[in-house]
A and B are shown apart, each in its own frame.
Chain A
Amino acid sequence: MTQVSTRKISVQSEFVPQKKRQSQFQLKAHRFARNKAAVIALCFIVLLVFCAIFADYISPYDYAAQDLANKLQFPSWRHPFGTDNFGRDILSRIMRGGRISLLVSACAVSISAVAAVIIGSIAGFYGGTVDNVIMRVTDIFMSIPGMLFAMTVSAALGTGIMKTAIALGVCSIAPLVRQIRSSILLLKDQEFIEASKAFGVSNAKIIMKHIIPNTLAPLIVQISLRLGDTIMAISGLSFLGLGIQPPTPEWGNMVSAGKEYLTTFWPMVLFPGLSIMLSMLSFNLLGDGLRDALDPRMKR
């Protein structure tokens, strides 16, 4: 008997190749990597974050250093993006502005994401009257056009970095709540949730262990898209005189300051505008790539 089994095992180990199992994360990362646009976008965002964090060390000049004798210089080797109407280096200001845009955007999106997850989960999971009430309130907030709402809140709170972040965060909660609620509703009816309930697992634990991880994928996509939208919204608010005001450099208020010089000196408008556009583009492409990669139903 023992002889047979030994032979069996040795045959198995010699001739049958083992299949290598990839983890979920590796599968998704692989799928993401195939989307070249998304990868390029991710690289740009990493570059942006890097510049934002290390702006003080890598920027060629101090962003606030004025050099009135050299104002309004077109791009040159010394000043790759030129100088503004105070003689400040535009490249350094864009880096600094990038830090501020990313910071405010990240704060705003975190505020809205956390609030939306909490509210959306409660609405989706408990259903009934709670769901109804939350949905009606969300409807109310969603019927106010986004920019109008952001302006009203921003005007009420005042200008400044934290206040703008709060204003934009509050304005983005409603659409995210919708999103999360619908993905939870989809999940709620799945069999594995029913099974968990049948086993007597508490509601809180179900939410924590099953629902939230499964809603994570669309949430991450939304967060990426929202980051881009928020950067655009910040620059829009700053352009209008709310949001973030000079002397703090922010891409939107740089364009606003530069529009006076538009006909004679275009760098003041072009470079901040380009930065806004590229950031928005990158976050959009990243969001698209994530959506394609993380969706388990796509048969690419």
Chain B
Amino acid sequence: MLRYILKRLLMMIPVLVGVVVVVFTINYFTSISPAAVICGSMATDEQIAAKEQELGLDKPYLVQIGTYFFNIITKGTLGDSYIYKTPVLDMIASRLPNTIRIGLCASVLSAMIGIPLGILAAVKQNSSLDYASTFLAILTGAIPSFCLCLLLQLLFAMKLHWFPISGVKTWQSYILPIVSVALMPVAMTMRMTRSAMLEAIRQDYVRTARAKGLPEKTVIWNHTLKNALIPIITVIGMNIGISLTGSIIVETIFNIPGLGFLMNSSISQKDFITTQGCVLVAAFIMTFMTLLTDLVYAVVDPRIKSQYTKGKKAGKKSKLIKGGDAA
């Protein structure tokens, strides 16, 4: 198991390297030079050239990207922001906690709403409750995030004064952003839960359990839900990954100093090195979440666990031997 985890961690590295290469290449071929933006419109050509030299922007592609990686490995730094001259890592580190707080709480909230709704819809399939909750879930998922934020801000902060309008001064100021970020994945969570549950309910072992005379509650909870967990975990893992990497729009409207906000401001100011750093951190979080999700699969489903521990061939054999019901 440990070997599997280590192997996966090592495999994350080429992916992250690839991410940096992609983002760097995109920024490299932009027509606007960051040096020109920083020096301002009154600057002369010589000043801009000097600035480019100072920032290392005049060197060829491979040298620049090589230096970047070299700095990461040897000095542990992601470079200094072109505009703020402070280390990118420090800037991200000071902003990441806010984003993570909002992301985690929002994921928990959306799971808390989405999963029960999905179970309800699956159990009472094709009833009016099913249609109503499905429709409600899709509706909340379709609201544009900026409209939602503006609406929440206007109603709850401005008119009712329940929460502060912006910033992160008190814990109450986190509530509205959390709700905004949470409402969007609810739809996907709910529908995934519903379809996974429906899939599991159709299985023969559920029919057997019902035929055995088990109470419905046990059938749903012990047999159906546990087997439906894998797709549900997938979608939750994905949602956590997306929420954690910062909803840019929510952070901009509520003025939360987080990763998404930094991303937005660095793009508009052409501060490419900060953008690269942010994307790198975001990609790291996403791949880490994927790894965690896979590990949770192993905890939940012994079939998968044996795949990881014994290797693929042995895993397939044990899968055949153990057979269906994992409850």
User: Do A and B touch (CB < 8 Å)?
Assistant: yes
Where the two chains meet, the residues of A that have a C-beta atom closer than 8 Å to any C-beta of B are 37, 136-137, 139-149, 151-153, 155-156, 158, 228, 232, 235-236, 239-242, 252, 255-256, 259, 262-263, 269, 273, 276-278, 280-281, 284-285
* Cβ of B65 under 8 Å from chain A: no
* Cβ of B60 under 8 Å from chain A: no
Is B154 within 8 A of A263, CB to CB?
yes
Is B142 within 8 A of A148, CB to CB?
no
Task: Give the residue name and chain of the B residue nearest to A153 (CB).
Answer: B26
Can you sample 14 A-B contacts with CB below 8 Å? A143-B287, A145-B242, A151-B248, A151-B264, A155-B30, A235-B146, A255-B146, A262-B150, A262-B154, A263-B158, A269-B150, A277-B139, A280-B144, A284-B141
Is B145 within 8 A of A240, CB to CB?
no
A146: chain B residues within 8 A (beta carbon): 242
Known: A37-B131, A144-B22, A273-B144. 16 other contacts (CB 8 A): A37-B135, A139-B15, A143-B287, A148-B282, A151-B267, A156-B30, A235-B146, A236-B144, A240-B248, A241-B268, A242-B267, A256-B146, A277-B143, A281-B138, A281-B139, A284-B141
Task: Give the residue name and chain of the A residue nearest to B290 (CB).
Answer: A143
Inter-chain CA distance A144–B22, complex, in Å, is 10
Inter-chain CA distance A241–B264, complex, in Å, is 10
Inter-chain CA distance A140–B12, complex, in Å, is 10
A155: chain B residues within 8 A (beta carbon): 30, 267-268
Inter-chain CA distance A223–B160, complex, in Å, is 42
In-complex Cβ contact of B18 among A136, A235, A281, A285 (8 A): A136
Inter-chain CA distance A141–B245, complex, in Å, is 15
The smallest beta-carbon distance between A234 and chain B, in angstroms, is: 11
A141: chain B residues within 8 A (beta carbon): 22
B286: chain A residues within 8 A (beta carbon): 142-145
The smallest beta-carbon distance between B303 and chain A, in angstroms, is: 20
Is A136 within 8 A of B154, CB to CB?
no
The smallest beta-carbon distance between A24 and chain B, in angstroms, is: 24
Where the two chains meet, the residues of B that have a C-beta atom closer than 8 Å to any C-beta of A are 14-16, 18-19, 22-23, 26-27, 29-31, 131, 135, 138-139, 141-147, 150, 154, 158, 241-242, 245, 247-249, 252, 260, 263-264, 267-268, 275, 278-279, 282-283, 286-287, 290
Is B147 within 8 A of A276, CB to CB?
yes
Is A144 within 8 A of B283, CB to CB?
yes
Task: Give the residue name and chain of the B residue nearest to A256 (CB).
Answer: B146
Inter-chain CA distance A239–B149, complex, in Å, is 13
B249: chain A residues within 8 A (beta carbon): 236, 239-240
Is B264 within 8 A of A240, CB to CB?
yes
With A140-B18, A143-B15, A263-B158 already in contact, the answer to whether A255 and B23 are too (CB < 8 A) is no
Inter-chain CA distance A155–B248, complex, in Å, is 15
A149: chain B residues within 8 A (beta carbon): 279
Is A152 within 8 A of B135, CB to CB?
no
A241: chain B residues within 8 A (beta carbon): 268
With A137-B18, A239-B249 already in contact, the answer to whether A152 and B275 are too (CB < 8 A) is yes
With A37-B135, A236-B145 already in contact, the answer to whether A147 and B248 are too (CB < 8 A) is yes
Inter-chain CA distance A139–B146, complex, in Å, is 29
Is B146 within 8 A of A239, CB to CB?
yes
B131: chain A residues within 8 A (beta carbon): 37
Inter-chain CA distance A274–B242, complex, in Å, is 25
Inter-chain CA distance A48–B165, complex, in Å, is 36
Inter-chain CA distance A236–B143, complex, in Å, is 12
Inter-chain CA distance A259–B158, complex, in Å, is 14
B242: chain A residues within 8 A (beta carbon): 145-146
Task: Give the residue name and chain of the B residue nearest to A274 (CB).
Answer: B147
A262: chain B residues within 8 A (beta carbon): 150, 154
Is B142 within 8 A of A152, CB to CB?
no
B282: chain A residues within 8 A (beta carbon): 144-145, 148
Task: Give the residue name and chain of the B residue nearest to A158 (CB).
Answer: B31
B19: chain A residues within 8 A (beta carbon): 140, 143-144
Inter-chain CA distance A155–B263, complex, in Å, is 12
Is B144 within 8 A of A235, CB to CB?
yes
Is A232 within 8 A of B144, CB to CB?
yes
With A144-B283, A236-B249 already in contact, the answer to whether A151 and B263 are too (CB < 8 A) is yes
Inter-chain CA distance A239–B282, complex, in Å, is 22
B146: chain A residues within 8 A (beta carbon): 235-236, 239, 252, 255-256, 259
With A156-B30, A236-B249, A240-B248 already in contact, the answer to whether A273 and B18 are too (CB < 8 A) is no
Is A281 within 8 A of B142, CB to CB?
yes
Task: Give the residue name and chain of the A residue nearest to B30 (CB).
Answer: A156
Inter-chain CA distance A232–B144, complex, in Å, is 7
Inter-chain CA distance A149–B280, complex, in Å, is 11
B279: chain A residues within 8 A (beta carbon): 144, 148-149, 152
Inter-chain CA distance A33–B219, complex, in Å, is 34
Task: Return the 6 tightest CB-CB contacts between A and B, nearest first.
Answer: A140-B18, A273-B147, A280-B142, A281-B142, A145-B245, A143-B283
Is B147 within 8 A of A240, CB to CB?
no
Inter-chain CA distance A240–B138, complex, in Å, is 24
A228: chain B residues within 8 A (beta carbon): 142
The smallest beta-carbon distance between B139 and chain A, in angstroms, is: 7
Is B23 within 8 A of A144, CB to CB?
yes
Task: Give the residue name and chain of the B residue nearest to A145 (CB).
Answer: B245
With A140-B18, A156-B30 already in contact, the answer to whether A284 and B158 are too (CB < 8 A) is no
Most buried by B among A37, A147, A149, A284: A147
In-complex Cβ contact of A259 among B14, B150, B241, B290 (8 A): B150
B275: chain A residues within 8 A (beta carbon): 152
Task: Give the residue name and chain of the B residue nearest to A137 (CB).
Answer: B18
With A151-B264, A151-B267, A241-B268 already in contact, the answer to whether A140 and B22 are too (CB < 8 A) is yes
Inter-chain CA distance A223–B278, complex, in Å, is 30
